[in-house]
Structure 1
Amino acid sequence: MDSRRATLVGRGLLLCILAVQAVLSLRLKGTAFQDEALYIGAGHHELANLRDGTPLPVDFAGYFSGHPKLYPVLAALVDDRFGLTGVRLVSLGCMLAATALLYATAHRLFNARAALGAAALFSVVQSTVFLGNFATYDALAIFLLALAFWLVVRTDRAHPLAVLLAAFPIALACAVKYASGLYVPTLLAAAALTAFPHRVPRGLARGLLLGAGTAGLLAAGYMLSGPLGGISGTTTNRAHGGDDALKMLQHSASWGGLLFLAALGGTLAYTARARMGEMPWVGGGEPGAARRFTLGMVLTGTALLAPAYQIHLQTEVSLFKHVGFGLLFAAPMAGLGLVRLIGPHFRHPQLGIILYVLTLTFGMVQAHQQYSFADSTQVNAYLRTIVDRKGQYLVEEQEVPAYYLRDVTAWTQWQNTYTFSYKSRAGKQLDGPEAYAAAVRDAHFDAIVLHGGVTPETNAAVRKALRGNDRYRLGGVFPFTTSAGEGAYRVWVKR
């Protein structure tokens, strides 16, 4: 029973779970990844724009997948005082808070044992571990969704208007990361289904009120924020890729399959029986089998939304992070599945231990593999000796040196290898690989940094233009090792 002693034991175990999660995240080490450097660097420009009206170097709102004046500004404020480590610790705090809120949500839905199971499994999947030490807006968005989920469940027996409290974190989550909107229907359905013991009309009213409140806040925010082209380009009308659907499905299964299977088992067990036989003394009614099944399937099925959407887009970019959003909602059912697997009176504890250890092992190994970035320490140190505020620099992932060397260069001096237009000295307007090759032949760039693998066509065109080009010399080679193997930054400097 939920006595004071049981509550204290449960919270103590939750602290242990959070400690394990923190250790798993903090063991990941590396210099800034491209996305981290992009958002923090952009945040400094957005912050300067807010403070004194300094013009932005580019329209970040036109291609960011979240509002550039929310997370990037927060990240820049923290970076000014505590550096990249501080910004990553903000992400860790968000993920730890999300796990704690998940515990509270599952406790309200089921019981303390299911809540501990949900928190334990969610805390060690690779997306949770990875995002706990990754300075992007994903962790903040997950925290806000977890807060909204908790508010929806916490107000289940309150007046229907109380559910509007969840509208604020939902709307903010959608603004921080536009893809968070994919999970709004789940929250609306949860608002309706968790309204027990109220009748169906009152539950539907909760869902409609939450939907209307969220829509109103989003509409007001959109009107005040101005044009946000990134919503279309990165979310609602994202360009399709060419990644294999079966491969993405296999990867998604490896990243969250164990938790999903546990959630599916929890849904079936919850539908068959609301409570285990070890708790016959618990009073009060329970939702009917139809409502229990619907709630379980809605929460469990949410884990499939991100893989299904990206399979539709045929792109695996960031899928390893996005699966974590759906697993947050499936976790309560997974916790219940873990409890039912163990059985009443801890009949089969070894089964629960095996499930947790497997999830932990996969999550720890996968997070380490995903976090294996190219170490840019040496190449950034070398670039600092050759750059100034006058040159033009071509770098495959230009956001990284632009962030680390922002005190001696401007954002617009760095050119990436994705898109480029150039008018050659012969007067011909060029785009794509031909533009890069012509610019190299004309010695347009003062330094060129390549390491291969990001944009193969551009890389090949630039290397071909450098071959036999006496306008450039190879200034240095800086090796690195990642989970994909060994590589090296090669820096060419204009003579």
Structure 2
Amino acid sequence: MLTTAVLCASTLVRIRNLNYNAPFTDEAIYIVLGRMGLFDRDFAEYNPQSWVGGSVYLYPIISAAAANLGGVAGSRFINVVLSIFALEFTYLTAIRLAQNTRTDRFKAGLISAVILGGSATGYYVSRIATHDMLSFLFFSMSLYYLVKALQTPTPNARLYFASAMLMAGAFLIKTVILVYIPPVIAFTYLRVRKNRKHRIFGTGYLIIPLALVTVGSLLISREMLAAFIRGHVTITYDTLQNFREVIWGGFRYILPFALLGSAGLISDRKYSVFAVLAAGTLWIIIWHLAVSRVPALDKHLYLSVYFMALIAGTGIPRLLKKLRPVKLKTSFYSALILILAGYFVVSVNSAARLYDNYWYDSRPVLSYMTGVVKNGDKVLAETGAPVIYVTYEKNHPINTVTFDWFRYGNSEGTAAYAEAVRDGYFDIIELESNSLPKLAEFSELHRRVASIIPENYRLIYENRNFYVYRRLF
């Protein structure tokens, strides 16, 4: 009953107002890529393999199909559904890791589900139409089947193989999962090496298939992966203060539960369980620190929160079980239920205030662009992919140029944009206000374009933070 209530509450807070904001760049571009692939059979126009960070053939198509039925809210709803399945598998994994009694298993699953379901990171990732949630669902399913396979006395090939394929799927959907594959393989080998039958099945149905799929995928897409790494790993260098802010934002309400769970596991001498879950928590953070990259950490922290939820779920019941007398134990459990309910409400409301306004709302200018852009118009849009998305039905995506990259004549980059604007190449130009945050390279490009616009364009729309210009001739 309580588990059903947690899943229902998690669903309700996630489906509330899925039109909370305009689509941001990643959401819009996934829908556009999916539409071009699904309806135009064109997956190569934007060279997406070099910057998507995962397969362009699965999630973009799902997102585009959902958007055709319900707009960006439809695409977001798909991730809400995926997030509830991820909660269910987190619940099941915690049950597998818990103590033997039915009551203890239920408590472990419930605590884990409440913590992950109420987490700010879980709320955020489940309400944006990107490939993260699908990958994280596959990841949680893979670990559930791995734990189940290792705990089954008679080796089960299907469980090992399911775990391998789900982990491979999580990696193919989202490249960053690659950082977890070597530890998963090493952990599996260490667990099965002393049991001959499990060693044969674990090696033959998980380690080898997962390694082959991973290595094969890396070899096939090595050039695209290298381009992705150059663009996403070796460029951005962020300070430790930025890391602390993002990590604290994701952990602040969860940390007390994780510390209590850690104390429970350690006091019960479950050192190996604690070590594995703690390593899983820290692993993605260590990777981000190693490449000195904050962007996307706010979403990737879902993986850390997942492991922290398991620590809390499996450890807190062990800690409370040591309480004496029984009446005191009952009082603590009653208090824990109230505390978890309070955590859920406070954390979700805090996340809603932050993430529902995480980027500036461009819906007014997007609505205007939908009405003013005609078929065949050459458009320059600083807002980027959202403009391509809203004008897709009227104007082919290739006609809309964003600030990401452009070639004009023999020039490319800032010089190409400047020449094109000076020549009046674009029919319509959409710019953002200087007050909106920009990447350094986009800020310079914005200043260059804005300084040339008066030569050939007139202002036709102004909404505090957005401006639209039409060519004079």
Q: Mark yes or no: TM-score above 0.5.
A: yes
Determine the C-alpha separation between the residues in 1 that align with 2:184 and 2:331: 34
Do the aligned residues in 1 keep the contact of 2:31 with 2:60 (CA within 8 Å)? Answer: yes
2:445 aligned partner? 458
Paired with 1:114 and 1:212, the residues of 2 have a C-alpha distance of 32
Confirm or deny that 1:433 pairs with 2:421.
Answer: no
The one-letter amino acid paired with 1:297 is A
Q: 2:377 aligns with which of 388, 391, 397?
A: 391
CA distance in 2, matches of 1:309, 1:149: 20
Match of 1:491 in 2: 468
Amino acid at match of 1:214: L
Q: Is 2:368 aligned against 1:374?
A: no
Give, as a single letter, the amino acid of the residue that structure 2 aligns with 1:361.
V
Distance in 1 between residues matched to 2:389 and 2:186, nearest whole Å: 42
Could you tell me how far apart the structure 1 residues matched to 2:120 and 2:134 are? 17
**2-side partners of 1:242 and 1:422: how far apart?**
30
Query: Equivalent of 2:313, from 286, 311, 335?
Result: 335
SS at match of 2:463: strand
Q: Which runs of structure 2 are paired with 1:19-418 in the superposition (5 Å)? A: 19-28=8-17, 29-48=20-39, 50=41, 56-110=44-98, 111-155=105-149, 156-157=151-152, 158-159=154-155, 161=157, 162-188=159-185, 191=188, 199=194, 208-209=203-204, 210-219=206-215, 227=221, 229-235=223-229, 238-273=233-268, 289=269, 292-340=270-318, 342=320, 344=323, 345-349=329-333, 350=335, 353-354=338-339, 357-358=342-343, 360-372=345-357, 373-418=359-404
Distance 1:159 1:47, change over 3 A: same
Contact 2:118 2:343 in 1 (8 A): no
CA drift at 1:91: 0.5
The 2-side partners of 1:103 and 1:15 are apart by 11
Gap change, CA 1:375 and 1:104, over 3 Å in 2 = same
Q: Is the 8 A contact 1:98 1:142 kept in 2?
A: yes
**Residues 118 and 335, structure 1, Cα contact 8 Å, conserved in 2:** yes
Q: Which amino acid aligns with 1:308?
A: I
- Structure 1 residues 215 and 14: CA distance shift in structure 2, 3 A: same
Q: Deviation digits for residues 406-427 of structure 1, max 9, x if unmatched?
A: 111111111111333434xxxx
CA distance in 2, matches of 1:42, 1:492: 27
Which letter does structure 2 place at the counterpart of 1:456? Answer: S
Distance in 2 between residues matched to 1:95 and 1:443, nearest whole Å: 47
Cα distance change, pair 221–248 in 1 and its aligned pair in 2 (3 A) = closer
Q: What is the TM-score normalised by the length of structure 1?
A: 0.82
Going from structure 1 to structure 2, the CA distance change for 1:492 and 1:131 (only over 3 Å counts) comes to same
Maintained 8 Å contact 2:167/2:181:
yes
Unmatched 5+ residue regions in structure 1?
A: 1-11, 274-288, 424-428, 480-487
Cα drift, residue 201 of structure 1? 6.3
- Aligned counterpart, 2:101: none
Contact 1:25 1:92 in 2 (8 A): yes
Q: 1:471 to 1:124 in 2, by over 3 A?
A: same
- The number of equivalent residue pairs is 445
Counterparts of 1:262 and 1:234 in 2: how far apart (Å)? 37
SS of residue matched to 1:492: strand
Q: What is the Cα-based RMSD across aligned positions, in Å?
A: 2.7
- 8 A contact 1:264–1:337 mirrored in 2: no
Q: 1:371, CA displacement in angstroms?
A: 3.0
Match of 2:102 in 1: none
Secondary structure, counterpart of 1:450 in structure 2: strand
CA contact (8 A) 2:179 2:287 kept: no
Choose 386-395 or 173-182, whichever is displaced more. 386-395
Pick which of 24-33 and 352-361 moved more: 352-361
The reply to whether residue 14 of structure 1 matches residue 19 of structure 2 is no
- Partner-residue secondary structure (3-state), 1:407: coil
The percent of aligned pairs where both chains have the same amino acid is 21
AA at the equivalent of 1:477: E
Residue 430 (structure 2) pairs with residue 449 (structure 1):
yes
Per the normalisation by structure 2, the TM-score is 0.85
* CA distance in 1 between partners of 2:218 and 2:50 (Å): 14
